[in-house]
Chains A and B, each alone.
Chain A
Amino acid sequence: MAAINKRDLDGVRATLHFPHVLLSQAAVTHYPTASDFSFAAFDARTAGQGWSHSTFDSHSVLMSDPNKAHLDIEFTRWRADGSKIGTYHAMYIVIRIDGRWGIQARSSQL
Chain B
Amino acid sequence: MSTPPTTSQASPEVIAVINAYIAALNKRDLDGVRAAFHFPHVLFGTGMVTHYPTPSDLSFTAFDARTAQHGWARSTWDGHCVLLSGPDKVHIDVWFTRWRADDSKIGTHHSMYIVTKLDGRWGIQARSSYG
Partner of B112 from A63, A89, A95, A108 at Cβ < 8 Å: A63
CB pair A104–B112 under 8 Å, yes or no, is no
Q: Whose C-beta in chain A lies nearest to the C-beta of B89?
A: A109
Taking a contact as CB atoms under 8 Å apart, the answer to whether A107 and B114 are in contact is yes
The closest CB in chain A to the CB of B48 belongs to A19
Other-chain residue from B53, B110, B116 in contact with A63 (beta carbon distance below 8 A): B110
Contacts of A30 in B (CB 8 A): 40, 42, 51, 53
**Cα-based distance from A95 to B98 in the complex (angstroms):** 24
The total of chain B residues at the interface (CB under 8 A) is 27
One of A5-13, A43-51, A65-73 contacting the partner: A65-73
- The main secondary structure of chain A at its interface with chain B is strand
Q: Looking at chain A, what size class is its interface with the partner chain?
A: 20 to 34
The answer on a CB contact under 8 Å between A21 and B126 is yes
> Given A21-B42, A23-B125, A89 and B2 touching (CB < 8 A)?
yes
A residues with a Cβ closer than 8 A to B are 19, 21, 23, 25, 28, 30, 62-63, 65, 67-68, 70, 72, 86-91, 93, 95, 97, 104-105, 107-109
Q: List 14 A-B residue pairs with CB atoms under 8 Å apart, sorted by A's residue number.
A: A25-B89, A28-B42, A28-B126, A65-B130, A68-B46, A68-B128, A89-B3, A91-B83, A91-B114, A93-B44, A93-B128, A105-B42, A105-B49, A107-B126
